Amino acid sequence: MGRFWNAAIAVAMVTTVVQGAVAAQGGAPVVLPPISPALRAAVTTLASRLDLERYKATIKGLTQFGDRRQGTERNRKAVDWIEAQLKSYGCPTERIRYMHDPPPPRPGQTAVARPAEPAPPRAVGGGRPRGVRTTTGVNTDPLKQPNEALRALNREPTVNGPRQEVYCTKVGTTHPDEMYIVAAHMDGHGWGEAANDDGSGTALVMELARIFSMPDVQTERTIRFALWNNEETGLNGAGAYVEQRKGLQGQEDPAGSGRYPEPRWLGMIQHDMMLFDHGMPRADGTIPPEQRPEADVNIEFQMTAAQTLGAQALAWYLHGANEKYATDYPAQVGPHMTNTDSTPFMDLVPAISVRENERGVHVGSGWDPQWHQPTDVFTTYSDKDFRLGLNAAQTTLGAVGELTGAAVR
Ligand SMILES: [Zn+2]
């Protein structure tokens, strides 16, 4: 019975996700099939075009707009800058427009106190926190930013109103009507530079857009590179995309043109905080100063999602890509994806998140002391930190390159 059930899951995974690229074999739930030597060579070439200094420079470029808080001029300028970069890579851009008009926040309380916990404790997303935990929250005090120029840059408060976000698209040659969405959020807050949250994910997506848009690169399937706005206010930018475009999937427009403004979604991969894995807080609440030697890339799916089987297969596909294409840090897969822009997608399409740590159990327990704080600035991070983000880029590039059938000519 158990064996049959495993086989049934395997078949469901195969039929749900990745176009037969994941095959069941020998009773194992998921086995990654061999790919052709030509595909392996093409994706290896693309991965070799990722570069640590270039990745760092793109993060640095994003920090010129401070924390890029949604509803401010610095946020709008950042959207413009990102779009200009994507265009310069040869990746055609479009924008999503939506309104953000929430009721005013209640004044006072900024740090979020933990509610009484069930036993055993559960983190947001369903994981089980353990070990030393410290309080987390969003800094709203400008005086905690010691850099006066940065404090001034971040001064303009958010105002309700219309919002925009940008994406660009690499159209597939033989299956233009099917696509993977590769995404991150470009807004931040906390009176720093949002360098890690989520300049690191935004730069990763931009770097992949640059490489897949090179004139000698073709993919059989379409890839969309999306930089969401309004993540920090409740995933509103990604939510607006889903609401506006989910019903347009797979429609040829104009009829007979061979053009698909919204190709059918095959998978969605979100990147949110890619740099910092220094481990659990020490007993005194401080964090080790160096990237821990056992640092890893955390790939998460959500076990309660309607599309969880496909998401699991996609997560393990990235895990396999990490073993083939990442140069330094390994990957881990976990079932508690939460609180990021893949959430609005997860019941509709296999959706996963890629991150420095697990969002619920690790980040929620204080493993990243820069999270939403004035210290989330470019100069906080070392090359060991940036290299973790580069390894995540190698991982996603490898998986998406294989899944979309990349070729270099
Ligand atoms: Zn984030």
> What pLDDT is stored for residue 114 in this prediction?
62
Alpha helices in 246-404 (DSSP H): 308-325, 383-403
- Each residue's pLDDT tens digit, 292-307: 999 999 999 999 999 9
Count the residues in the chain. Answer: 409
- What six digits make up the tokens of 11? 């078949």
pLDDT at 126: 92
Statement: residue 339 has pLDDT above 70: yes
Q: Beta 351-355 vs 297-300: how paired, if at all?
A: antiparallel
List the one residue out of 131, 150, 149 whose CA is nearest residue 139. 150
pLDDT of residue 5: 36
Q: For residue 272, how far is its CA from the centre of ligand 1 (angstroms)?
A: 5
DSSP annotation string for 327-359: SS--EEEESB--SSTTGGGTTTS-EEEEESS-T
Q: What is the pLDDT of residue 32?
A: 62
> Ligand 1 centroid vs 216 CA: distance in angstroms?
33
pLDDT tens digits for range 16-47: 444 443 333 333 344 466 899 999 999 999 99
pLDDT in tens, 212-265: 999 999 999 999 999 999 999 999 999 999 999 999 999 999 999 999 999 999
Write down the mean pLDDT value for the chain: 91
**Residue ranges of domains in the chain, CATH in brackets:** 1-34 (no CATH), 36-102+119-408 (3.40.630.10)
Centre of ligand 1 to C-alpha 185, Å, is 7
Q: How far is the CA of 39 from the centre of ligand 1 (A)?
A: 33
Q: What is the Cα–Cα distance from 11 to 320, expressed in whole angstroms?
A: 19
What is the percentage of the chain residues whose pLDDT exceeds 90? Answer: 87
For the stretch 304-315, pLDDT in tens is 999 999 999 999
Residue 177 Cα, ligand 1 centroid: separation in angstroms?
A: 30
How many angstroms does the Cα of residue 271 sit away from the middle of ligand 1? 8
Residue 92 burial (CB count, 10 A): 12
Give 274 Cα–ligand 1 centroid separation in angstroms. 10
Asked whether the predicted pLDDT for residue 109 surpasses 70, the reply is no
Work out the pLDDT band at 399, boundaries 50, 70, 90: very high
| CA 23 to centroid of ligand 1, rounded, Å | 33
Question: For residue 42, how far is its CA from the centre of ligand 1 (angstroms)?
Answer: 31
Q: Which of 12-21, 67-76, 275-284 has the lowest mean pLDDT?
A: 12-21
Q: How far is the CA of 197 from the centre of ligand 1 (A)?
A: 5
pLDDT of amino acid 403: 97
29 Cβ contact list (under 8 Å, min separation 6): 6, 9, 10, 13
Distance from residue 232's CA to the centre of ligand 1 (Å)? 7
Dihedral, CA of residue 36, residue 40, residue 43 and residue 45, to nearest 10: -130
Q: Which residue has the tokens 């086995």?
A: 31
Mean pLDDT, residues 68-93 taken together: 98
**What is the 175 CA–ligand 1 centroid distance (Å)?**
32
- Report the separation in Å between the CA atom of 234 and the middle of ligand 1, taken as the mean of its atom positions: 11
pLDDT of residue 106 exceeding 80: no
**pLDDT-derived band of residue 10, with 50, 70 and 90 as boundaries?**
very low
Band (409; pLDDT cuts 50, 70, 90):
very high
Average pLDDT rounded to a whole number, residues 98-104 = 93
> What is the CA(383)–ligand 1 centre distance, in A?
21
Q: How confident is the model at residue 2 (pLDDT cuts 50, 70, 90)?
A: very low
Sheet containing 175-185: which strands, arranged edge to edge? 93-100, 161-170, 221-228, 175-185, 264-271, 351-355, 297-300, 331-334
16 C-alpha vs ligand 1 centroid, how far in Å?
28
CA nearest neighbour of 396 among 245, 141, 179, 181: 181
Q: Which alpha helices (H) appear in 178-231, and where do they start and end?
A: 201-212
Over residues 103-109, mean pLDDT: 73
Contacts of 161 (CB under 8 A, 6+ apart): 71, 99, 100, 101
Q: What is the dihedral of CA 211, 324, 388, 111, to 10 degrees?
A: 100
The predicted pLDDT at position 117 comes to 66
Ligand 1 centre from 191 Cα, in Å?
14
Q: Quote the pLDDT of residue 41.
A: 98
Distance 223 CA to ligand 1 centre (A): 22
Say how far apart CA 196 and CA 189 lie, in whole Å: 11
Q: Which residues contact 339 (CB under 8 A, 6 or more apart)?
A: 124, 125, 359, 360
- In this structure, the number of other CB atoms found within 10 A of the CB of residue 111 comes to 10
Token representation of residue 55? 């990745």
Per-residue pLDDT at 125 exceeds 80: yes
User: What predicted TM-score, i.e. pTM, was given to this entire model?
Assistant: 0.91
Bond before 254 cis per omega within 30 degrees: yes
Expressed in angstroms and rounded, the spacing between residue 398 Cα and the centre of ligand 1 is 23
pLDDT band at 115 (very low <50, low <70, confident <90, very high): low
pLDDT, average across residues 159-184: 98
Task: Kindly give the distance from the C-alpha atom of residue 356 to the centroid of ligand 1, in angstroms, as a whole number.
Answer: 11
pLDDT of 7: 38
